[in-house]
């Protein structure tokens, strides 16, 4: 999660840590601390340190303009011999950047007071520089020209102070210091040397490593110089070097760099500054300790913790400082989580009795279960808020989580008790109102049972919708038994006498109805018998009709056969007659022949 307070327009340089000359104490600005505490999510801190009057503020103004895409400037720059920056200053509008894993972070720019100024003591310079080292995740050591023994000496003095911090932190001091050690970038301004070795070009990083290599020799002076180099390399294992050419050639332009338009800068410088910005952004990783990213609030707590120790004339012990920061940040996380619980609980809380009465349908259900669910939901939101801001391992967080649960539980207990009591009073008021509406109907002469039943149903429906609380159903059951049922029993007793006469009439009427019922039953049996007889006759009729159709078919078949026989008979008769005539003719011919013979 990444967030910050409302923007106030263009950024400005804001003092983070100042030195009160009257009290001889460092002071963390409340305004800057509040600005940091509004930042959630990881923060990366790019701090620029170095000797006074070497263009640190100018460099930061150029970075601000580059990152903001405009011409914003705010770090104070002057053209005199007196240094402008005192203490540590930050740019009021952090720049949102994206980490390699896609997570968002805030980039904070810090301008550190130059070391070795004419109005500083050695201890003061070392303390200011050390604050820049301890608070930054990327430290730019700004200097003019090449790396020389003077620069190594100034830088090593801070490293020696860091060794005291490590020794103060016990067995884990070196490890703890390395975890807080920033990425180091040695920036060489107005650099004009030709970097070559044995006829080959070397990089600025190789040049830096060459200058930090141990010197040959065994004299005390050589050993001291080698010790300074070892201190630098131990404090800054992740280190690099970059060189910038002179931005312009005219002395007047150099004295008014912040007013100089970009068009007057040398192309070589502008190209180099673009590469420098890319390098700084690649090395500006979130500040972290023991594997945890620091938020803006944690950074503010670290600054306050370091300042408190330095003001006591002591050396910060990283482990104890970290524990103090953990307690401070976890207390803030607890307060933020408690506020988150209150907001979520108010949003999830079911409506009270008055709201339930005004909004039908809102008061039903199990109030106790609804309250418990609201508490659990709000507690989950509070724990999530706590986790987003808390520091330390599980054991360190557990104490504050337990406090959060206890505070939320205590708050919930008070609200739940009040809500249940309010619900019980609401139930009492509703049942009293129902008594006033229903009991007169029970004792009315004559009693209108339909009206009473309608009113009772409406009352119970209203009660079920608006009443709540664990005693809701028990109280209405008691009301029905003790008031309504008892009233109905009384009505029944009063009407018992008149009911006796009515009962006799009802008995006679019942006998009459029984007789009518018997007759109706007998008629029903007869109707059923007739229906069954009708069904049998219909079956017989259907069978007779089928038999008649069969006989008609046979008759038609026989008629056809008789017609065929008659036709055959007629044909045979014709043939017989013809045969007879032929015989008669033959006899005649025979007779004639015999006669002739």
pLDDT at 355: 45
DSSP 372-384: HHHHHHHHHHHHH
| β-strands 239-243, 200-201 pairing | unpaired
Kindly provide the b/e burial profile for residues 272-290, where b requires at least 16 CB atoms within 10 angstroms of the residue's own CB.
Answer: bbeebeebbbebbbbbbbe
CA atoms of 258 and 262, how far apart (whole Å): 10
Residue 5 phi/psi, 5° resolution? -75, 180
Rounded to 5°, the CA angle 6-11-12 comes to 125
Q: Is 487 helix (H, G, I), strand (E, B) or coil?
A: helix
Instruction: Of 343, 335, 409, 412, give the one whose Cα is nearest residue 371.
Output: 412
CA atoms of 109 and 90, how far apart (whole Å): 6
Q: Is 7 helix (H, G, I), strand (E, B) or coil?
A: coil
Q: Please enumerate in sequence order all residues whose Cβ is within 8 A of that of 191, keeping only pairs 6 or more positions apart, or say none.
A: 145, 146, 243, 244, 245
Residues of the chain with pLDDT under 50: 1-8, 77-83, 353-364
Q: What DSSP element (H or E) covers 44?
A: strand 43-50
CA atoms of 287 and 108, how far apart (whole Å): 11
Inter-residue contact 184 to 236 (CB < 8 Å): yes
CA atoms of 148 and 344, how far apart (whole Å): 61
CA atoms of 315 and 55, how far apart (whole Å): 30
pLDDT at 81: 41
Q: What DSSP element (H or E) covers 39?
A: none
Condensed to tens digits (0 to 9), the pLDDT of residues 250-300 reads 777 777 766 777 778 888 988 998 999 999 999 999 988 878 888 899 899
CA quadruple 510, 515, 521, 524: dihedral positive or negative?
negative
| β-strands 196-197, 200-201 pairing | antiparallel
Inter-residue contact 376 to 446 (CB < 8 Å): no
Q: Please enumerate in sequence order all residues whose Cβ is within 8 A of that of 58, keeping only pairs 6 or more positions apart, or say none.
A: 75, 77, 257, 258
Instruction: Of 232, 272, 55, 47, give the one whose Cα is nearest residue 140.
Output: 47
Angle at which helix 394-442 crosses helix 472-479, to 10 degrees, equals: 10
Residue 95 phi/psi, 5° resolution? -95, 130
Q: Residues in the chain, how many?
A: 597
Q: What DSSP element (H or E) covers 288?
A: strand 288-289
What single-letter DSSP state applies at residue 260? S
pLDDT at 374: 93
Kindly provide the b/e burial profile for residues 72-101, where b requires at least 16 CB atoms within 10 angstroms of the residue's own CB.
Answer: bbbbebeeeeebbbbbbbbbbbbbebeeee
Kindly report whether the global pTM for this prediction surpasses the value 0.75. Answer: no
CB atoms within 10 A of CB 49: 27
DSSP 390-412: --S-HHHHHHHHHHHHHHHHHHH
Give the distance from CA 395 to its chain's centroid. Answer: 25
Give the distance from CA 484 to its chain's centroid. Answer: 52
What are the helix (H) ranges across 236-349?
A: 251-255, 267-283, 296-311, 318-348
What are the helix (H) ranges across 69-181?
A: 122-135, 149-168, 173-180
Torsion of CA 163, 165, 168, 172, to 10 degrees: -80
CB atoms within 10 A of CB 6: 5
pLDDT at 117: 63
* Helices then strands, each counted (H, E), the chain: 18, 13
Inter-residue contact 35 to 4 (CB < 8 Å): no
Instruction: Of 220, 218, 191, give the one whose Cα is nearest residue 204.
Output: 191
- Measure the N-to-C terminal CA separation of the chain; round to a whole number of Å: 159
CA atoms of 186 and 239, how far apart (whole Å): 8
């Amino acid at each position: 999660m990444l967030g910050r307070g409302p923007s106030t327009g263009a950024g400005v340089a804001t003092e983070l840590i100042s030195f009160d000359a009257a009290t001889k104490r460092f002071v963390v600005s409340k305004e800057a601390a509040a600005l940091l505490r509004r930042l959630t999510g990881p923060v990366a801190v790019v701090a620029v340190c170095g000797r006074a009057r070497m263009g640190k503020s100018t460099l930061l103004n150029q970075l601000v303009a580059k990152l903001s895409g405009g011409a914003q400037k705010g770090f104070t720059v002057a053209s005199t011999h007196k240094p402008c920056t005192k203490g540590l200053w930050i740019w009021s509008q952090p720049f949102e950047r994206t980490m390699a894993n896609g997570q968002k972070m805030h980039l904070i720019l810090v301008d550190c007071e130059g070391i070795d100024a004419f109005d500083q003591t050695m201890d003061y310079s070392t303390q200011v520089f050390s604050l820049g080292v301890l608070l930054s995740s990327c430290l730019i050591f700004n200097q003019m020209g090449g790396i020389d023994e003077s620069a190594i000496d100034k830088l090593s003095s801070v490293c020696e102070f860091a060794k005291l911090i490590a020794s103060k932190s016990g067995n884990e001091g070196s490890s703890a210091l390395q975890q807080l050690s920033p990425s180091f970038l040695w920036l060489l301004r107005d650099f004009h040397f030709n970097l070559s070795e044995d006829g080959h070009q070397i990089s600025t990083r190789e040049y830096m490593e060459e200058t930090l290599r141990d010197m040959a020799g065994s004299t005390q002076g050589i050993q001291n110089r080698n010790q300074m180099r070892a201190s630098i390399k131990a404090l800054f294992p992740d280190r690099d070097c970059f060189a910038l050419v002179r931005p312009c050639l005219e002395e007047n332009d150099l004295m008014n760099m912040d007013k100089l338009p970009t068009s007057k800068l040398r192309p070589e410088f502008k190209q180099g500054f673009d590469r420098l910005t890319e390098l700084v952004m690649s090395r500006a990783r979130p500040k972290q300790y023991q594997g945890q990213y620091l938020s803006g609030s944690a950074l503010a707590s670290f600054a306050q913790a370091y300042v408190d120790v330095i003001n006591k004339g002591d050396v910060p012990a990283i482990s104890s400082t970290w524990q103090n920061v953990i307690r401070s940040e976890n207390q803030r996380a607890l307060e933020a989580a408690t506020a988150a619980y209150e907001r979520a609980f108010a949003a999830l809380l079911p409506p009270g009795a008055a709201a339930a009465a005004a909004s039908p349908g809102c008061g039903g259900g199990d109030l106790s279960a609804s309250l418990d669910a609201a508490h659990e939901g709000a507690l989950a939101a509070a724990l999530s808020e706590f986790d987003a801001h808390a520091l330390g391992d599980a054991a360190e967080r557990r104490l504050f989580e337990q406090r959060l649960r206890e505070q939320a539980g205590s708050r919930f207990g008070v609200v739940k008790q009040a809500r249940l009591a309010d619900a019980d009073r609401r139930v009492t008021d509703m049942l009293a109102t129902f008594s006033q509406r229903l009991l007169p109907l029970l004792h009315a002469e004559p009693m209108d049972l339909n009206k009473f039943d309608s009113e009772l149903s409406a009352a119970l429906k209203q009660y079920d919708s608006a009443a709540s609380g664990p005693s809701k159903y028990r109280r209405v059951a008691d009301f029905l038994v003790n008031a309504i049922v008892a009233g109905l029993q009384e009505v029944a007793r009063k009407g018992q006498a008149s009911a006796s006469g009515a009962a006799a009439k009802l008995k006679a009427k019942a006998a009459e109805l029984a007789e009518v019922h018997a007759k109706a039953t007998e008629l029903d049996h007869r109707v059923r018998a007739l229906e069954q007889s009708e069904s049998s006759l219909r079956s017989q009729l259907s069978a007779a009709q089928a038999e008649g159709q069969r006989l008609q078919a046979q008759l038609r078949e026989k008629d056809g056969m008789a017609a065929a026989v008659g036709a055959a008979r007629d044909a045979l008769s014709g043939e017989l007659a013809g045969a007879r005539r032929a015989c008669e003719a033959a006899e005649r011919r025979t007779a004639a022949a015999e006669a002739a013979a």
